Amino acid sequence: MSHVRSMALSENALFGMGNPLLDISAVVDKDFLDKYGLKPNDQILAEEKHKALFEEIVKKSHVEYHAGGATQNSVKIAQWMLQEPHKVGTFFGCIGADRFGEILKQKAREAHVDAHYYEQNTQPTGTCAACITGDNRSLVANLAAANCYKKEKHLDLESNWELVQKAKVYYIAGFFLTVSPESILKVAKHVSKSNKIFCMNLSAPFISQFFKEDLMKVMPYVDILFGNETEAATFAKEQGFKTEDIAEIARDCQNLPKQNEKRRRVVVFTQGKDDTVATVGDKVTMFPVVDIDQNAIVDTNGAGDAFVGGFLSQLVMERPLEECIRAGHYAANVIIQRVGCTFPEKPDFH
């Protein structure tokens, strides 16, 4: 089976671009969340008031460091699901010339992802504090270097653009809209013209709220839109959809204007332990997730990224939507039973 699979897949078939971050993960209490004004389950960008949070979290007794960043996580998970050949996944992003940057490079190599980082030395490598309470995670991202990605310094370079063109499936998390919308648009337009598949994620409520204009510039090029229930609800509210029903929101997202009419947009919303909602042609279908004992959940950080990674692993092999979703559920189920977005040596997905 694996032999047949590797024949069909070429290196760099999956392209991702985003914010490479080092996750600093620790279990905290409610007082810690309150002190820094954090919701138990959220993703935000660090502000001045969060400076001390990063100093405090590294002193926690069980602090762990893992390579992170939403898009990078998803590309790694897809590569892990596929196993062979190596370097099916390509990743672009910006890091600093420092120890954390070296760790990210090392971790990408270990995951067999073809990472091409733009390295600069004005800003240190970005970090993300993952504040874990029970099965919730509050993420605070200090983008730093990740915010310094430059289209003309990296994406436009001939050797890099050739890697972009090699791909057939593309994934960029909405988070990257805060960094380089012009890079996203360049990639999205290439994908649309070539009739390949461009995937995007709503990523966090603040993207739909404060980066609405850039998000909607990219939306016509989006072939597959991912998000979770909270992000879907926020997006619907911001767009003035007249519904709070997640299936109807999915339908409304599907019907937003689209550039490449050869491909009908697919919308996929996860809802934690509840069914995943997806548009299948004219219908909206519910796909139940893998049952799990609540006690088996170690932390839900990375669950959404893992879902997308599992999904992309089958998409790049041109499997049907149902299989893509099943693989997404499988990967998310594995990830939530481990700390951060980490995975065992081999998948057991059939």
Q: What is the dihedral of CA 326, 268, 149, 166, to 10 degrees?
A: 60
Instruction: Tell me whether residue 45 is exposed, middle or buried, using C-beta atoms within 10 angstroms of its C-beta: 0 to 12, 13 to 18, 19 or more.
Output: middle
Which one has a higher pLDDT value, 135 or 205?
205
Task: Write the secondary structure of 56-67 as one string of H (helix), E (strand) and C (coil).
Answer: HHCCCCCCEEEE
Instruction: Give the pLDDT mean for 155-166.
Output: 98
3-class SS of residue 72: helix
Note the pLDDT tens digit of each residue in 297-327.
777 778 999 999 999 999 999 999 999 999 9
Active site residue ranges:
305
Residue 340 — very low, low, confident or very high, per pLDDT cuts 50/70/90?
Answer: low
3-class SS of residue 348: coil
Q: What is the pTM of this model?
A: 0.93
Note the pLDDT tens digit of each residue in 71-113.
999 999 999 999 999 999 999 999 999 999 999 999 999 999 9
What does the pLDDT read at residue 6? 44
DSSP E strand stretches across the chain: 14-17, 21-27, 42-45, 64-68, 89-96, 114-120, 127-133, 136-142, 169-173, 197-201, 224-228, 266-271, 274-280, 283-287
> How many CB atoms lie under 10 A from the CB of residue 337?
13
Considering the chain, what is the average pLDDT of its residues?
93
Note the pLDDT tens digit of each residue in 41-51.
988 999 999 99
